Amino acid sequence: MDKEELIAQMNAPVKFQMVASSTAIIESNDLDIDDLFDISFHKKKEIAFRAAWMLEYLMTHKPEQFAPYVDKLLQLLSEQKNPSAMRHYAKMVVLLTDRKAGPIYKEMAVNLNFEPVIEVLFTWLVDPETLVASKVHCMQALANLTPRYDWIKDELLETIDYLMGIESIAFFARAKMVKKQLKRK
């Protein structure tokens, strides 16, 4: 499937079967992951969101296929400005850094330089325009990185304490979990 066909499919009106049809596209293996990354920056926010969702799906369900694109994900992270797509990009960083990550990602993560990613995650976390779901994923990814970058812990705890006074209940609930995780380290 070429890029224009993929955009056309993603531009179709949302139906209850959107997840099923997106999944079918992925499962067909007739998909260029570079195109998906490009489309995740599409000017039409719904199309960008669907492409980012498909990237996350690929990462979780087809790690061998997605793994060669991890560097690209990390390079593009700072460029992502679509609030809905940011959620999936941040979630993919969580999946990559999780202590329960799949073996292919654990092995890769050891050799990756996350410092530029950390800066983006903190920026998104404190930005009032960032959606709560994205902030929650940023917070979790940063917590996941504390064993490797111990300086994150104090900075993240301070940031969480500040944000707990101004964010929603959804943020508050995850913040409590992340603080508990950080205290164990």
CATH classification of the domain holding 96: 1.25.10.10
pLDDT computed for residue 25 by the predictor: 62
Number of structural domains (the chain) is: 1
Query: SS3 for 95?
Result: helix
Question: What is the rounded CA–CA span in Å between residue 3 and residue 25?
Answer: 12
Question: What is the rounded CA–CA span in Å between residue 26 and residue 9?
Answer: 12
Give 10-residue mean pLDDT values along the chain (185 residues).
77 59 62 92 93 93 95 98 96 97 95 97 96 96 96 96 90 92 84
Beta carbons within 8 Å of 102's beta carbon, 6+ residues apart: 63
pLDDT computed for residue 5 by the predictor: 77
pLDDT computed for residue 16 by the predictor: 47
Domain of 129, in residue numbers: 3-183
Question: What is the rounded CA–CA span in Å between residue 144 and residue 27?
Answer: 30
SS (H, E, C) 83-149: HHHHHHHHHHHHHHHCCCCCHHHHHHHHCCCCHHHHHHHHHHHHCCCCCHHHHHHHHHHHHHHCCCC
